[in-house]
């Protein structure tokens, strides 16, 4: 029964016979690119899974998930009065900071 090294040599010979010597570098390059894409996708999925686990454990501890912090920083470009009015918060005579606090409080209470 052939060992690991012998199987590699046999595999290379089969590839050369099937595709020709000129195609081997191109096949190796394509294989390397595919492996790189696979590793990149694997890292991204592991990171997404870790973020999901962190947000779930944060919910169990009564903490706000880290994802809400990123949402809060992205809402700076949004008109806070429109958001508050959409959520049913009275906007008359209130500053943007007061409206932000009320919107955040309403969001926290709705997630519980």
Residue pair 44/37 in contact by the 8 Å Cβ criterion: no
Does residue 83 surpass a pLDDT of 80?
Answer: yes
Supply the pLDDT for residue 107: 83
* Secondary structure letter of residue 88 according to DSSP: T
State which residues form the domain around 91.
64-112
More confident residue, 54 or 73: 54
* Residue 6 CB neighbours (<10 A): 10
Same domain, 76 and 48: no
Same domain, 37 and 4: yes
Q: What is the pLDDT of the chain when averaged over all its residues?
A: 80
Same domain, 55 and 70: no
pLDDT tens digit sequence for 20-52: 888 888 888 998 999 999 999 999 999 999 988
Supply the pLDDT for residue 71: 52
Same domain, 57 and 68: no
Same domain, 95 and 106: yes
Domain count, the chain: 2
Supply the pLDDT for residue 47: 92
């Amino acid at each position: 029964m052939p060992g690991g090294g012998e199987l590699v040599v046999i595999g290379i010979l089969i590839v050369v016979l099937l595709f020709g010597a000129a195609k081997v570098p191109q096949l190796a390059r394509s294989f390397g690119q595919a492996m790189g894409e696979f590793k990149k996708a694997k890292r991204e999925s592991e990171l997404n899974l870790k973020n999901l686990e962190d947000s779930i454990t944060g919910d169990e501890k009564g903490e706000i998930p880290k994802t809400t912090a990123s949402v809060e920083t992205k809402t700076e470009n949004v008109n806070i009065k429109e958001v508050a009015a959409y959520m049913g918060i009275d906007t008359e005579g209130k500053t943007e900071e007061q409206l932000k606090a009320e919107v955040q409080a309403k969001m926290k209470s709705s997630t519980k």
